[in-house]
Amino acid sequence: MSAIKNVINDNYNNMLLNDYLKEKIKDAGYASVNISKVPTGTKVVLFVTKPGIVIGRKGSGIQELTKKLEEGFGFKNPQISVEELKKPELSPIVMCNRMAAYIQRGTAFRRATMWTMQQIMENGALGVQITISGKLRGDRSAFEKHSAGILPRAGNFADQVVSQDIAHVETAMGLIGIRIRIALKEKIIPEFEYKNKDHKEDIAITDKTDNDKDVAPTESEQIKIDAEKISKVDSMEEEEANLK
């Protein structure tokens, strides 16, 4: 029973740590954390879009996190390393936070949804589904579900291929919830390998090169750059308003 309790406590502690890191290093584009026990202590690997923000000047950021993990979460001798995400657009946590920020800045929810889906698919996702719910237009709660590409829905195959995350954002109308599910091609096991060589049109647009992207020093700056581009995204917001 003690072993079971230890597993439960570890999982609960890791969940609390994940929530803490989401808020603490949000501007670094936090995506996930990998925790493993080693003979010398606890190895903690952070996956972010902007490693420099986490590390801080002369390692001050790492020192602060190390102290917090040791004193606040009880990790023994935490050894933190930071890895950069090559394609943050394929991380549900990053994209949930970005979409929430777009809406909080005043972008129409459907336009933000279309832009987010476009960014995910252009970076090589097999499929994506975005569900947005809450006070979208009036006093009554509603929800919309948008998807693109191929997204396994059930079974062990879906568990292996699909990753997801949820974010919430406060607006003048009320609370809005965002759930993003992304299916990744590289996670497909060999016997279910995705092949589409004979088709001229692929589900995902060819991957972008680094030269095609506007690189920002922080997630906040990246959101500002994206906000200017979102206004050009084709959605039904204007057409729907004209019909009223």
In angstroms, the CA 129 to CA 118 distance is 11
Question: Which of helix, strand or coil describes residue 3?
Answer: helix
Q: Give the bridge partners for 43, in sequence order.
A: 36, 79
Residue 155 confidence (pLDDT): 78
Q: Give the tokens for residue 71.
A: 């004193």
Q: Which residues are within 8 A (CB) of 50 and not within 5 positions of it... i.e. 6 or more apart?
A: 27, 28, 29, 84, 217, 218, 219
pTM, two decimals, is 0.77
Q: Which helix (H) or strand (E) holds 80?
A: strand 78-84
Enumerate domains of the chain plus CATH numbers. 2-84 (3.30.300.20), 88-243 (3.30.1140.32)
Q: Higher pLDDT residue, 161 or 234?
A: 161
Give me the pLDDT at residue 208, please. Answer: 46
Look at residue 7 in the predicted model and tell me its pLDDT: 80
Residue recorded with tokens 């929430």: 100
Is the pLDDT confidence value at 231 over 90?
A: no
- Per-residue pLDDT at 218: 81
- Please give the radius of gyration of the chain, using alpha carbons only, rounded to the nearest integer: 20
Euclidean distance between CA atoms 139 and 173, whole angstroms: 7
| Spatial separation of the C-alpha atoms in residues 180 and 151, rounded to whole Å | 12
Neighbouring residues of 63: CB distance < 8 A, sequence distance ≥ 6: 56
> What average pLDDT does range 222-233 have in this prediction?
78
CB atoms within 10 A of CB 88: 21
Q: Which tens digit of pLDDT belongs to each residue from 76-106?
A: 899 999 999 889 999 999 999 999 999 988 8
Cα dist from 90 to 78, 85, 236, whole Å? 28, 9, 25
Question: Which is nearest to 183 in space by CA: 68, 52, 53, 90?
Answer: 90
CB contact at 8 A, 49 and 219:
yes
**Confidence tier at 131 by pLDDT (50, 70, 90):** very high
* DSSP sequence for 119-149: HHHHTTEEEEEEEEEESSSSSS-EEEEEEEE
